[in-house]
Every structure is written in C-alpha cells, then in structure tokens.
Structure 1
Amino acid sequence: MQRTKISLSLLGALMLFCSCDRQRVFDEYKSLDGKWNKDSIVSFEFEQKDTVSKYNLFVNIRDNNSYPYNNLFLIVQMQEPGTRVVKVDTLEYQMANPDGSLLGDGFSDIKESKLWYKEKVNFPKPGKYKVSIQQAVRQGGKVPGVQELEGITDVGFRIESIE
C-alpha cells in the first residue's frame, strides 16, 4: 500500500515536471462562438519588463471542420507602452491541405495552429503592450471581406523566450 502511494506520487511529480513550459512568457486565449466577425478585434495586453532578451511571438488559432477556406488572413497590430505607435502587419497562413483537411495539432475535429507572428523580437520599452488581431479573409474574386468567418473557436497570443 505504501509502495503504491510512493509510486503514484513519483508519477504525479514526473508528469508535472515534464509538462512545464519553460519557454512560455505569455500565453492567453479568447473564445469565439465558432464564428469570427470581421469587425471583431481580439486584443491581448501584457506587461513586459525585459528590453534586452529576444522573443518569438505567435498567433494561436483553434478551428474546426466548419472552417471553409484554405488560408487565413489576419491583421495584427502591436502598440508600445505610453505611445500611439502601432505596428501593423497583414499576414497570411495556410490552414488546410489541398484535400481540405485542416492543418494543426489535435485528435478531434478541433485543430490548434501555432502561427509565427514575429521572430527574435526585443521589446524596446518596458511597460504594457497591446496586441490586436482581426480576421481579413475574402472570398476569391470578391472585394468585401467575409462578414462571419465560420469555424474559428479560439484566438490566442503567445510569447516564448529564446533559450
């Protein structure tokens, strides 16, 4: 009996130790209702004190089989603390294989994609940063954007330290 308790305790400690994510500096998700309106901006705020180290930045997307497109277009803005300076990037990501099956990780119909936003970035000022993400998907041959983008369940933002 005592041996079983010790074994279970060691197994629990091992799982906890192995599941630690040492690179993660910031990792947050915002849930959507399975649809992402083109006017809906998903925002994340984080405090950054280190202005020397380099970081990798990611946009994380969880989507399901209702996602009807091959690609995803995003407009991502980053605002520095204490300024109105906003850096704006328009990004395109492949979300599905040519056969329509979703890319990303996951065992069910929900897939998670970790999409590169910026690589080896340092933050020039200490303080609170704000990142805003908006979908900008358009149907082929049409000018107006897709009003309600189906199949997106969550949008996340992640910062990893470079070790």
Structure 2
Amino acid sequence: MNRLCRMMAAAGMLLAAASCQPLKMETYEKNLDIPGHEWAYATKPVFEVTVQPQDTAYLYNIYVNVRHKDSYPYSNIWLLVHTQFPGDKPVAQRVELPLADVSGKWLGSGLDDIYEHRIPIQQNAMLNRVGTYKFTFEQNMRQNPLPDIMNVGLRIEKAGLRKNEKAIP
C-alpha cells in the first residue's frame, strides 16, 4: 500500500508540473450563439487567441464556422473580419462564405434542418507575434437582421512549420 501511495504521489507531481507549462496551440476553436438566430449588424462576435513563443514558428489555417437553419434565404454570407495583431490596430477584410452550390444544395454537413460549415478564409497564415490576437466578425449582408443564423465561430489549426524554422520546445 505504501508503494502505491508513493507512485500516485509521484504521478500527481508530474501532472502538476506539466500543467504549469504553457500549452502549445495545436487547434483553437470557439463557436458563439447568435441571439434569437437573427444576426444583427450590432452583434459582432469576438474571438481572442493567445500565441505563445513556441507557436510563432508555425503556419496556421484559419476557418469560419457557420451553423444555420435550412430556411436561411441566401447561398452565401458576406463577413467583415476584423483582425487585430498584438499591439496593432484592427484591419478589416471583406470575406464571402459560400454556403450552397449553384443548384442551391447546401455545402456543409446537415442534420435534420440544421447545416454546419467550416469555411477556410486563410491558409498558411503566420501568427508570428507573441500575444493576443483578436478576431471580430461582422455580418455584411444587405438584410439586417440576417435570419436563421444560429452560431458563428473561429477555428485555427496548425498547418506545419514555417520554412527555415525549428520548433521551440
């Protein structure tokens, strides 16, 4: 019994030591609800991503997640994506997110009358500054509020090492 207690204590110390280390960003994903499933101009979901020194050696793929009802009346959605790098002012970029093909068939995965999309907006992006990056999404369609949008989200996943970079442990 005494040996078992020592082994458990050692395992607990290892877990505690590991939990003090900064986590490397493999994937960031967060989805936010759109109030009443009607996305008004005034609703601007914000996503904050903290980049540690070891994260700056990598390239990242950035996606927008959209979840909507089958009754959504358009085949796309236009967004203003405001990106703020650590220490800088936000920069806006207008992005089209295709949700349906030319025949009107939804491109995302569906269950019952709800469809989900993960749409790439930037491949091999560099997050080469340590600190907090802020992404703000603003719907940029002519209709306000935009009906039947349930959730919107941000996904950032590691794409690989930048050229001529070595991973920082």
Q: How many equivalent pairs are there?
A: 133
SS at match of 2:27: strand
Query: Residues 109-148 of structure 1 correspond to what in structure 2 (within 5 A)?
Result: 109-138=113-142, 146-148=143-145
The 1-side partners of 2:121 and 2:75 are apart by 19
For residues 123 and 31 of structure 1, what CA distance do their matches in structure 2 show? 26
Q: Counterpart of 2:33? A: 31
Quote the Cα distance in structure 2 between the aligned partners of 1:101 and 1:162: 29
**Distance in 1 of aligned mates of 2:79 and 2:86:** 23
Aligned to 1:9: none
Task: Return the offset for 1:55.
Answer: 0.4
- Please tell me the root mean square deviation across aligned C-alpha atoms, in Å: 1.6
Structure 2 residue aligned with 1:88: 92
Unaligned runs of 5+ in 1: 1-22, 139-145
Q: What is the distance in 2 between the residues matched to 1:40 and 1:155?
A: 11
Q: Deviations over 1:51-94 (max 9, x none)?
A: 1200000010001112101121010011011222x222101122
Task: Judge conservation of contact 1:24–1:158 (CA < 8 Å) in 2.
Answer: no
TM-score by length of 1: 0.76
Name 2:8's counterpart in structure 1. none
Name 1:4's counterpart in structure 2: none
Matching residue within 95, 108, 112 for 2:112: 108
Structure 2 counterpart of 1:155, from 143, 152, 155: 152
The letter of the residue matching 1:40 is T
- Which whole-Å CA distance do the structure 2 matches of 1:38 and 1:148 have between them? 7
What TM-score, normalized by structure 2, do the two folds share? 0.73
% identical aligned pairs? 31
Matched-pair contact (CA < 8 Å) for 1:45–1:131 = yes
CA distance 1:24–1:64, change in 2 (3 Å): farther
Match of 1:7 in 2: none
Where does residue 143 of structure 1 map in the other structure? none
Name the structure 2 match of 1:141.
Answer: none
